[in-house]
């Protein structure tokens, strides 16, 4: 419709001036403050709402003097611009008062013209938007606090984080209930049967005044189920439930007991939401408004849904972490050897304490297994990283160490072969930086008392001798496994019988928090320690007061106290754990050395003469008779005859024969040749080639190892109890 000229307006409308009526309506209403100013920005008139909004002590032109600068500049500046150009300003927001006053006002300014179109001033409409700004700040603060939910990877702690955000952001009281599956640490079944239909227990509450009402369900108590399920269908997909006092009574079936347990006294409104993620129901959260009668709005509902979704995600992550952690721990412990072993070489005891808190189990491992001729292999290693990948890497390395040890490789060559394996693993990995390990491999010979060891980037063991002295072994650590191109050095030492070797991973060197058991316990151990000063005993760290420097004295004190090896290992791990789970795996392997008595060994040397075979048989039979092993004489005579004959025929002399008697009877024949003996099945027409096959049938196990010069073929025969 084309507007009529100004002069004809009143006549055509029967004398009723619509413009005047609109102006009167705007000026007379009480919700929007309106002020008219002339072209010099002097107030002309204002309605009562404008006067009511005026701050105390302000003049009639208070709108012009609103402090601060917004997107359109100062209020006076943008009003002058509107008066000059006619371009309106819509919804410009300004703080109404000085600093500390959170009142906000939204201003809309337009230019006013007379009937001839001549500008005569400006009109300003002001709307108080303080409540909206306060709600936005409250919701923004709640969202910021919501980012802290789930930081601990603990389901109950996440529930406590949630109620801490809900109160006071949304109400005065809030709770979280978990179904029994979640409380027991079991993954809930897929699907959702509704919050009230699931047997639940309260796990977290929060009250604005600090006191949770005594009549409501308390933390740890089961939540009574309503007589009927009235929750709407939206709950099945993670929606929210708005409850007023009337609906709350209907849900409780007007049962006085349920009303007292489920509804706080004076409740106006409640807002509930399930903790639902990836098809699993983890719990239910609800917030009450008791003091505030204002219903929950869409922003409150959206905030509640977002916070509950974040909490459910945090709980799901906690369960995923727990599942992986438990799997890794079970796998790790299933791959580790028995915690204690007894062999002719040593008594051993190990302890493994997995990392706790938000750190998954790592790839630490230890091993103690017998080698040929009663020798004992002692291994400790630490794989890079944590979780299932580290555990799987540990399993591969432990298997490789045992396989290489069966070849009787010296420690330096074994680590070199192991380093080659890790390099191949790095090349195959999609994340090569996460593959690697340190390892310490040692071999102890109870016949000679010699212990040889080599290190691939691993801390040296502590040696506690029978006289009470304690020191680090002077092994020179080579590069960690996977680096390559660097040789490993072998350290050899003679250990008196009864010496204690302590192998460990770096988790043992992390001190417990002040006040924990480790802080006081280690000082007690140091007081009773003997031997060299701790500061000089540690090649790991030059700091005299470091845990590395204290460890030898601590071990010496525990050994001197007469504790068994498993007790020492348990005490060391307990001291490192302190009051909180360690942030890295703690692994300890202890070995107390033994020796084979001189009367239980016999050694002969023969020239490369075929007649020496007869002498060898005679010497062996005489020795077995002296040991009372007549039952083993026939088999041993055949073994010795074959081995000595082969050595003289194929390797030359001298040939060294040694018998060792312990729980098994060991027969060794050493020669200067490096040829590899091989077991084969001879044909019926062959004149020879049955020697090693015969040896394999007569012995429990047999093998060959190489030394600096030549090789040694060995066999073992089981001896009955008491032999």
- Residue 34, pLDDT score: 87
| DSSP states of 29-81 | -SSSEEEEEETT--EEEE-HHHHHHSPTT--TTTTTT--S-BTTB-HHHHHHH
Count other C-beta atoms under 10 Å from residue 417's C-beta. 14
Q: State the angle between helix axes of 298-335 and 130-146 in degrees (0 to 180), rounded to the nearest 10.
A: 0
Sign of CA dihedral 365, 366, 370, 375: positive
Sign of CA dihedral 648, 649, 650, 652: positive
**Which residues of the chain carry a pLDDT beneath 70?**
1-20, 22-23, 30, 97-101, 135, 138-148, 150-151, 189-198, 227-238, 324-337, 356-362, 386-388, 432-434, 510-545, 577-583, 678-690, 722-723
- For 708, phi and psi rounded to 5 degrees? -60, -35
- Domain 22-128 falls in which CATH fold? Beta-Lactamase (3.30.450)
- Residue 534, pLDDT score: 35
User: What's the CA gap between 55 and 68, in Å, rounded?
Assistant: 15
How many angstroms separate the Cα of 641 from the Cα of each of 186, 611, 646, 675?
Answer: 65, 11, 9, 19
Which contiguous run of DSSP H or E holds residue 714?
strand 711-718
- Residue 361, pLDDT score: 58
- Residue 543, pLDDT score: 35
User: What's the CA gap between 673 and 567, in Å, rounded?
Assistant: 47
Count other C-beta atoms under 10 Å from residue 611's C-beta. 10
Strands of 664-671's sheet, edge to edge? 601-606, 655-661, 664-671, 711-718, 701-706
Q: How many CA atoms lie less than 13 Å away from 718 in the CB half-sphere?
A: 5
Give the N- to C-terminal CA distance of the chain in Å, as an integer. 122
Cβ pair 271, 242 in contact under 8 A: yes
The residue to which tokens 């307006």 are assigned = 9
Sign of CA dihedral 642, 647, 648, 649: positive
- Residue 544, pLDDT score: 35
For 599-718, the fitting CATH number among 3.30.565.10, 2.10.240.10, 3.30.70.2740, 3.40.50.300 is 3.30.565.10
Q: Which of these, 498, 485, 493, 412, lies nearest to 448 by C-alpha position?
A: 493
Which contiguous run of DSSP H or E holds residue 374?
none
User: What's the CA gap between 184 and 13, in Å, rounded?
Assistant: 80
* Torsion angle defined by CA atoms of residues 154, 155, 158 and 163, in that order, rounded to the nearest 10 degrees: -150
- Quick one: residue 693, left, alpha or beta (phi over 0 = left, psi -120 to 50 = alpha)? alpha
At 154 the three-state DSSP class reads coil
- E-strand stretches of 474-544: 491-494, 500-504
User: What's the CA gap between 297 and 132, in Å, rounded?
Assistant: 12
User: What's the CA gap between 636 and 527, in Å, rounded?
Assistant: 54
Q: Which of these, 347, 502, 375, 343, lies nearest to 443 by C-alpha position?
A: 375
At 255 the three-state DSSP class reads coil
Sign of CA dihedral 59, 64, 65, 67: positive
Q: Taking the model in full, what pTM does it have?
A: 0.60
At 9 the three-state DSSP class reads helix
- Residue 2, pLDDT score: 40
Which contiguous run of DSSP H or E holds residue 278?
none
Q: Which of these, 384, 393, 401, 387, lies nearest to 337 by C-alpha position?
A: 401
User: What's the CA gap between 619 and 625, in Å, rounded?
Assistant: 10
| DSSP states of 570-629 | HHHHHHHHTTS--SS-EEEEEEEE----GGGEEEEEE-S-TTHHHHHHHHHHHHHHHHT-
Per CATH, 22-128 and 134-324 having the same topology is answered yes
User: What's the CA gap between 21 and 16, in Å, rounded?
Assistant: 8
- Residue 196, pLDDT score: 45
- Residue 335, pLDDT score: 65
At 198 the three-state DSSP class reads coil
The residue to which tokens 């098809």 are assigned = 279
At 112 the three-state DSSP class reads strand
- Residue 581, pLDDT score: 57
- Residue 657, pLDDT score: 95
* Residue extents of the structural domains in the chain: 22-128, 134-324, 339-593, 599-718
- For 351, phi and psi rounded to 5 degrees? -145, 140
Count other C-beta atoms under 10 Å from residue 229's C-beta. 13
What is the chain's Cα-based Rg? 43
Tell me the CATH architecture of domain 134-324. Answer: 2-Layer Sandwich (3.30)
Q: What is the CATH number of domain 339-593?
A: 3.60.40.10
- Residue 504, pLDDT score: 94
Which contiguous run of DSSP H or E holds residue 172?
none
User: What's the CA gap between 41 and 39, in Å, rounded?
Assistant: 5
Angle at CA of residue 443, ends 352 and 411, nearest 5°? 100
Q: Which of these, 201, 203, 207, 145, lies nearest to 174 by C-alpha position?
A: 207
What are 45's strand-pairing partners?
36
């Amino acid at each position: 419709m084309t507007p009529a000229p100004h002069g004809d307006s009143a006549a055509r409308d029967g004398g009723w001036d619509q413009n005047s009526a609109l102006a009167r309506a705007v000026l007379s209403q009480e919700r929007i403050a309106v002020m008219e100013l002339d072209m010099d920005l002097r107030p002309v008139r204002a309605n009562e709402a404008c006067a009511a909004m005026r701050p105390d002590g302000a003049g009639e032109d208070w709108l012009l003097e609103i402090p601060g600068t917004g997107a359109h500049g100062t209020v006076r500046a943008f009003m002058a611009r509107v008066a000059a150009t006619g371009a309106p300003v819509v919804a410009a927001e300004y703080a109404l008062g000085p600093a500390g006053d959170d009142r906000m006002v939204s201003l809309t300014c337009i230019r006013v013209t007379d009937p001839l179109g001549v500008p005569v001033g400006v009109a300003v409409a002001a709307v108080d938007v303080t409540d909206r700004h306060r709600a936005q700040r409250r919701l923004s603060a709640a969202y910021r606090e919501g980012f802290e939910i789930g930081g601990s990877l603990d389901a109950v702690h996440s529930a406590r984080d949630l109620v801490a955000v809900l109160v006071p952001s949304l109400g005065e009281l809030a709770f979280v209930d978990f179904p029994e599956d979640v409380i027991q640490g079991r993954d809930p079944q897929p699907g959702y049967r509704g919050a009230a239909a699931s047997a639940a227990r309260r796990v977290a509450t929060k009250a604005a005044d600090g006191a949770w009402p005594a009549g409501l369900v308390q933390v740890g108590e089961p939540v009574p189920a309503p007589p009927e399920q009235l929750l709407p269908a939206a709950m099945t997909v993670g929606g929210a439930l708005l409850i007023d006092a009337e609906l709350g009574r209907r849900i409780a079936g007007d049962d006085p007991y349920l009303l007292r347990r489920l509804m706080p006294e004076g409740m106006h409104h409640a807002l509930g939401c399930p903790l639902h993620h990836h098809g699993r129901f983890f719990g239910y959260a609800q917030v009450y408004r008791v003091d505030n009668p204002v219903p929950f709005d869409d922003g409150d509902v959206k905030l509640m849904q977002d916070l509950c979704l974040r909490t459910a995600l945090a709980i799901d992550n906690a369960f995923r972490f727990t599942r992986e952690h438990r799997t890794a721990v079970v796998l790790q412990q299933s791959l580790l050897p028995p915690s204690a072993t007894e062999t002719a070489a040593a008594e051993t005891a190990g302890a493994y304490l997995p990392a706790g808190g938000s750190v998954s189990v790592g790839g630490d491992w230890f091993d103690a297994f017998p080698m040929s001729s009663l020798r004992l292999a002692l291994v400790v290693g630490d794989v890079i990283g944590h979780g299932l990948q580290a555990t799987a890497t540990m399993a591969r390395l432990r298997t490789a160490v045992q396989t290489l040890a069966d070849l009787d490789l010296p420690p330096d060559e074994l680590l070199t072969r192991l380093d080659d394996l890790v390099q191949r693993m790095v090349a195959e990995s999609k994340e090569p930086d996460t593959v690697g390990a340190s390892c310490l491999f040692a071999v102890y010979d109870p016949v000679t008392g010699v212990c040889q060891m080599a290190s691939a980037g691993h801390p040296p063991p502590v040696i506690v001798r029978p006289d009470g002295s304690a020191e680090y072994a002077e092994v020179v650590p080579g590069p960690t496994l996977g680096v390559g191109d660097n040789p490993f050095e072998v350290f050899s030492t003679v250990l008196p019988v009864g010496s204690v070797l302590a192998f460990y991973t770096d988790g043992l060197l992390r001190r417990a928090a002040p006040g924990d058991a480790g802080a006081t316990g280690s000082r007690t151990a140091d007081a009773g320690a003997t031997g060299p000063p701790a500061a000089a005993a540690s090649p790991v760290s030059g700091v005299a007061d470091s845990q590395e420097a204290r460890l030898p004295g601590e071990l010496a004190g525990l050994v001197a106290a007469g504790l068994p090896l498993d007790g020492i290992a348990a005490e060391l791990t307990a001291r490192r754990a302190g009051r909180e789970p360690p942030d890295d795996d703690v692994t300890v392997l202890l070995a107390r050395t033994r020796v084979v008595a001189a009367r239980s060994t016999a050694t002969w040397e023969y020239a490369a003469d075929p007649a020496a075979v007869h002498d060898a048989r005679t010497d062996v039979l005489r020795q077995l008779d002296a040991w009372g092993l007549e039952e083993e004489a026939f088999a041993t005579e055949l073994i010795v005859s074959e081995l000595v004959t082969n050595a003289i025929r194929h390797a030359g002399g001298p040939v060294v024969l040694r018998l060792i008697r312990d729980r098994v009877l060991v027969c060794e024949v050493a020669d200067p040749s490096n040829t590899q003996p091989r077991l084969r099945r001879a044909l019926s027409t062959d004149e020879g080639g049955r020697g090693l096959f015969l040896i394999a049938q007569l012995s429990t196990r047999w093998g060959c190892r190489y030394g600096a010069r030549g090789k040694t073929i060995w066999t073992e025969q089981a001896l009955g109890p008491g032999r």
